[in-house]
Amino acid sequence: MNPDTHFEPVIGLEVHAQLLTASKAFCSCSTEFGSEPNSNVCPVCLGMPGTLPVLNVNLVEFILRMGLATECNITTRSVFARKNYFYPDLPKGYQISQFELPICTGGRVNIILDDGNTKSIGLTRIHMEEDAGKSIHDVDVDTLVDVNRCGVPLIEIVSEPDLRSPREAYLFLTKIKQLVTYLGICDGNMEEGSLRCDANVSVRKKGETKFGTKTEVKNMNSFRYVERALEYEINRQIQLIIDGGTVRQETLLWDANLGVALAMRSKEEAHDYRYFPDPDLVPVLVDEKWIQRVRSGLPELPTPRRDRFVSSLGLPPYDADVLTAEKEIADYFEAALADLAKRTGKETRDLAKQVSNWVMTDVLRVISEKKLTMDAFPITPSRLAGMIRLIMDGTISGTIAKELFEQMLTLDDDPAEIVRSRGLVQVSDTGILEKAVDEILSASPEQVAKYLGGNEKVFGFLVGEAMKKLKGKGNPRVINDLLRSKLTALRQP
Ligand SMILES: [Zn+2]
């Protein structure tokens, strides 16, 4: 029996996104990543008696952006609550969070499935909270504690249990990353912990409407681990049920090295945290004016941008998907396109595919090979446009452009200047090209005979030889024309 056909998984995700505010949620300490341990702290975030937290208004601004972008209802009066638990990296003994009255409820996120269909994933809520510190177990014989992260603002995005496969969970998480980065509220870096994901997983027989007992899987700190950890946990639960066992409600930690999820503790219920409204913080009041202001300031979101790339720039949907996957890539593409339109006086629609080809192949290849971020990429949009312009006006061939592109990665000069100084200009002079073509024809009697005998493929070989002789600088169109007419002449003596 193949268990997959009899069971279906039910998955809900809880995603924590660390916000890009300069200071912490309730004090003015810096949120900078990688500072000297325990240097970004003050009496407030250390939870000293007698101190009072003051809400950072940017935390509310940022969560409103996310809430509006995901069609949530905005709670006009939301309340902070204390989530009580003891841990060495939590000096206050509680975390400030939201419980009964979160600021955003009932939104949705659309994911595009592999078959091209769109699936809407419900959001239960998005709420504000502060981060805890970090225990470091592997540096010294003792455990060390760094509380720099205490009080760093987070939003927690809780999905409905609408996801039905690890792949859907992966797509959901990718979409969340895309949204928070487009909105400029989180850098989306899962490896540095800016985006963290826990999953609630259960399985049930297909056709069943009741949910099975769920477990919580934590510590999946990369996108790939989320998929792998969920696959592991789903198979474990299915096997357990087939073998006559029952799933226990518990929290599991994903161990990426072992490829297993290990039981950490029996799962807490909300009442274990003794939530109660934080008496030190007033309720957060958001009026319609504030909502309108944030709504009108929202940037163009990934889906509308993708649709615009298809409808007004005429790009194939595949190109539009790749280019809008990350905001930085889409921005780069549009900047290069606008620059090229200005240089050539042509419509962006007529230039889009050409720019897209360069961005999707060469630019993204270098970005991924060298693990660069878009703003560290050495070829600015304007220089890329300058290079494409040189191809369009016939100064360089496509072959030379590939070489020029490589040179532009290390040289800061204007592409036209590199072409001049490195002698990359395309040879279109018919006299020079004709001489090369004649030499190739007389040096390759066998191939010429084959071509005249009807073997068309040899033509490509002859073009290649002529190109080689001209060190790749010959104008391929002119070479083609010359070869074609000379071979035709040979055919009719
Ligand atoms: Zn502080």
Helix axes 398-408, 381-392, angle to 10 degrees: 160
Distance 420 CA to ligand 1 centre (A): 57
Distance 44 CA to ligand 1 centre (A): 5
Residues above pLDDT 90, as percent of the chain: 68
Distance 150 CA to ligand 1 centre (A): 8
Gap between the Cα atoms of 198 and 271, Å rounded = 19
Q: What integer is the mean pLDDT of 429-450? A: 87
- Helix, coil or strand: residue 200: strand
Distance 156 CA to ligand 1 centre (A): 21
DSSP string, 448-478: HHHHHTT-TTHHHHHHHHHHHHTTT-B-HHH
* pLDDT tens for each residue of 386-406: 999 999 988 888 888 998 999
pLDDT band of 211, cuts 50, 70, 90: very high
Beta-carbon contacts of 492 under 8 Å, excluding residues fewer than 6 positions away, are none
Distance 129 CA to ligand 1 centre (A): 15
Distance 188 CA to ligand 1 centre (A): 24
- Amino acid symbol at 393: D
Distance 152 CA to ligand 1 centre (A): 9
Distance 36 CA to ligand 1 centre (A): 15
Distance 294 CA to ligand 1 centre (A): 27
Task: Dig out the tokens for 4 from the structure.
Answer: 């997959």
Distance 281 CA to ligand 1 centre (A): 16
Distance 40 CA to ligand 1 centre (A): 7
Distance 27 CA to ligand 1 centre (A): 5
DSSP string, 152-191: -EEEEEEE-S-B-SHHHHHHHHHHHHHHHHHTTS----TT
Gap between the Cα atoms of 60 and 86, Å rounded = 27
Distance 84 CA to ligand 1 centre (A): 19
Which comes out higher in pLDDT, residue 434 or 311? 311
Distance 20 CA to ligand 1 centre (A): 16
Gap between the Cα atoms of 485 and 488, Å rounded = 5
- Choose the weakest-confidence range: 89-103, 106-120, 448-462: 448-462
Distance 90 CA to ligand 1 centre (A): 13
* pLDDT tens for each residue of 47-73: 999 999 999 999 999 999 999 999 999
pLDDT at 267: 65
Q: What integer is the mean pLDDT of 130-147? A: 87
Distance 32 CA to ligand 1 centre (A): 12
pLDDT band of 2, cuts 50, 70, 90: low
Find residue 175's DSSP bridge partners.
Answer: none
Distance 23 CA to ligand 1 centre (A): 8
Distance 45 CA to ligand 1 centre (A): 4
Distance 29 CA to ligand 1 centre (A): 4
For the chain, the average pLDDT equals: 92
Distance 41 CA to ligand 1 centre (A): 4
Rg of the chain taking only CA atoms, in angstroms = 30
Gap between the Cα atoms of 157 and 125, Å rounded = 6
Distance 17 CA to ligand 1 centre (A): 20
- Choose the weakest-confidence range: 281-290, 382-391, 415-424: 415-424
Distance 51 CA to ligand 1 centre (A): 10
Range with the largest mean pLDDT of 200-204, 207-211, 251-255, 455-459: 200-204
Distance 53 CA to ligand 1 centre (A): 9
Task: Using alpha carbons only, give the angle 364, 365, 368 rounded to the nearest 5 degrees.
Answer: 80
